Amino acid sequence: MKPRILVTGASGNTGRPIAEALASEGFRVRTATRSTTPPFPSTDHVRFDWTDSTSHDAAVDGVDRMYLLVTAMVDPSLFMIPFIERALARGVRRVVLLGASAIAEGSPGLGQVHRFLREHAPEWSVLQPSWFMQNFSNPQNQHGASVRRDGLLMTSTDKGRVGFVDAADIAAVGVRALADEPSHDTAHVITGPQALSYDDIAAEMSRVSGRPIRHVHAGPEEVRRHIQEGTGMPEAYANLLVGLDMTIREGAEDRVTDTVLRVTGRAPRTFEAFAQAHADVWR
């Protein structure tokens, strides 16, 4: 019998395709979201909330492997590490964590979870994707909301470039990290095939949509206000995003990797292809 795999965030950009792909490969999949309603027809679903420890035991009962992601919070390690300890004690062997390319092992928050997994989990992988292409199409993201509302992107990144990646490619790497034998036991830095600036992104969205979309180069304080006014995001998290803008400006995300091709056997999606598929969103 194939392992039972817990997929948290199973209604999201990576969780849903991971859960669906694992089920199609014959794994026993348990989906977990904050809702009691499964994200797709499923015989095994649990309500799960990182901040509600009473929902944790039912999520990991009988689970062999799990995919973990957390929604926006300043220090997810406060909730994730105790949960992982609990899961390992109950027999979970493999943990795959969704991190970020901007968050190094050992750094505050998810970086602490990354280190804990490497040191304590029998089998582990950390997905470290670059910035999601879906940020520009999702109306709940500060960029997606700003483009729809005002036809602009506002950042402090200047000419800094990013290897923007499609969430479907991140999910494809995650599926292999969960399904393959043996365990990958590594951190996967995941990017798209090109490093692009926000000027490049705005130009491509303008081209495919026929609507002028511009990238506004702004200072950190102006960007923070723009984020908070557009999304109602807490100040602490908005400040975190502004800080990441500055690392992009300094070149920290100006790279591409072969991870998607090497792990999945297929090339990652280009931003041009993504933009063409989502042109109606920006019109």
- The tokens of 245 are what? 């803008």
All structural domains of the chain, each given as residue ranges with its CATH number in brackets, are 4-129 (3.40.50.720), 142-160+195-255+264-282 (3.90.25.10)
218 contacts 156 by C-beta, under 8 angstroms: yes
Bridge partners, 95 (sequence order): 66, 124
Average pLDDT over residues 67-87: 93
pLDDT mean over 79-102: 97
pLDDT digits (tens, 9 = 90+) for 150-167: 999 999 999 999 999 999
Mean pLDDT computed over 88-108: 96
Main-chain phi, psi angles of 274, to 5 degrees: -65, -45
* Bridge partners, 146 (sequence order): none
DSSP bridge pairs for 137: none
Q: What is the mean pLDDT of the chain?
A: 96
Specify which residues 253 forms β-bridges with.
Answer: none
Instruction: For 185-231, write each residue's pLDDT tens digit.
Output: 999 999 999 999 999 999 999 999 999 999 999 999 999 999 888 77
pTM: 0.95
